[in-house]
Structure 1
Amino acid sequence: MLRRLALTAVVSLAVLSAAAPGAAAASGPLPLPSPLPLPLPLPLPQGEGEDDARARLTVTVSKAGDPSAEGVFELECAPVGGDHPAAEPACDRLAELADEGTDPFAPVPRGAMCTQQFGGPATARITGTWQGRHIDAVFSRADGCEISRWNNLRPVLPGVR
C-alpha cells in the first residue's frame, strides 16, 4: 500500500512538474506540493561474478515512426555486442539501472494512477537475460505510466516520433 501511495505521489509530481510551466504562463505561479519521503528501492537479486553485468536481450520494436528504429535487434553487454543500433549507450543505461537497484522491466503496478495521454502506437518486447534472470517484458506508449517505462529504457528502446 505504501509503495502504491509513493508511486502515485511520484507520478503526480512528475505530471505537475511537466504541466506547471504552461499553467504558470497562463495563470501565474502555482504552489507546489511538499515532496514526500520515498522508500529506498529494494535491491535486485544478484547472481555471481560476471553474470551480474552480462545481458543478452532481443529487442523487437514496431510502429516507432522511424523505419531505422523498427525491427528485431540483439543486444549483448559485458562485452558489448549484437546488432542493436546503440549497443554501447544501451549497455551503459542498463548498467546504470542495475546500480540504482531498479527493475526497468517490471510492469506498471496494478491499480497505478496513470495520466491518460497517448504517446503513439509504438510497441516493443524485450526478451532474454539481464542481471542473471530471465526477461520477457512488453512496452507500449498507451498512457503516462507506459510512456515513462519506455523513456526510462532509452536508448535500449528507441526514441519515437
Structure 2
Amino acid sequence: MTVRRTVQRSARTGAAAFLAVGFGLLAGCGEQQAGAPVTSSSPTSSSSTPSGTTPTGDVPATSGGELTVVVDDGAGNQRTWTLTCSADGTAGGDHPDAQNACEAVAAAKAPWAPVPKDMACTQIYGGAQTATVTGTWGGEQVQARYARNDGCQIARWDRLAPLLQPGTEVSARSRGAS
C-alpha cells in the first residue's frame, strides 16, 4: 500500500509540475513574442534575412527613411500612405499620423525582421488585416509583411501600430518588449 501511494503521489506531482511548466511557457510566450520581430513575404516566417536588415534584423534607432505602407482591412479595402522620417526627427509624407509612426519605427527593435522559425506562437486570431511596408530605412531596403493571424504576428503588428493603424499608440506591453 505504501509503495502504491508513493507512486500515485509521484505521478500527481509529476503531472502538476508538467502542467506548471506548460502554463509557464504559455504565460511567458506573449512576452517573448512581443519582443520578437517579424518580417517576411508570408504571414509567418522567413528563412532568409530580409534586405535592409542585419542577420538579427537590427536597424539603428536613429535611422530615417522613406516608406510606403499598404494596409488591407481584410475585406479587400486598401489604404496606401507614404512616410518620410529624417534622422533629426522630422516626419512627412501623407501618412495621417506621420510623427507617431516615425517614432514607433525608430523605437522598435528590429522592426523588419521575421519571426524566428523556432518561435512558439499562440494560436489566436487577431483579424484578417495585412500590411506591407516597402522603401528604405537607415539606407537599407525594406520589404516587410505584417498580419494578425497568430500571437507572434499580433505582437509584431502592435509594436508598429502607429505606422499600420494611424491614431493608435504602441501598447505598454509592446513598448517594453521592443
TM-score range, shorter chain: 0.5 to 0.7
- Higher RCO, 1 or 2 (CA under 8 Å, sep at least 6)? 2
Return 5+ residue gaps in structure 2 as ranges. Answer: 1-23, 32-55, 169-178
Using structure 2 for the length normalisation, give the TM-score: 0.56
- Aligned CA RMSD, in angstroms, stands at 2.6
Q: Does 1:77 align with 2:85?
A: yes
CA displacement at 1:152 relative to structure 2: 0.7
1:30 corresponds in structure 2 to none
Q: SS state of the match for residue 111, structure 2? A: coil
Q: Does 1:61 align with 2:68?
A: no
2:114 corresponds in structure 1 to 107
Q: SS state of the match for residue 92, structure 2? A: coil
CA displacement at 1:111 relative to structure 2: 2.4
Matched residue type, 1:55: G
1:44 corresponds in structure 2 to 58
Greater mean deviation of Cα atoms: 143-152 or 86-95: 86-95
- 1:68-125 residue CA offsets vs partner (Å, 9 max, x unmatched): xx4010000113110001101111112222xxxx211111111211000000000000
Q: Does the 8 A contact of 2:29 with 2:121 survive in 1?
A: no
Q: SS state of the match for residue 150, structure 1? A: helix
Counterpart-to-counterpart distance in 1, 2:112 and 2:157: 10
How many percent of aligned residue pairs carry the same amino acid? 38
Return 5+ residue gaps in structure 1 as ranges. Answer: 1-8, 17-41, 47-51
| Structure with larger Rg | 2
Say how many residue pairs are matched: 114
- 1:116-159 residue CA offsets vs partner (Å, 9 max, x unmatched): 00000000000011122110000000100000000011101115
CA displacement at 1:10 relative to structure 2: 8.3
Distance 1:119 1:43, change over 3 A: closer
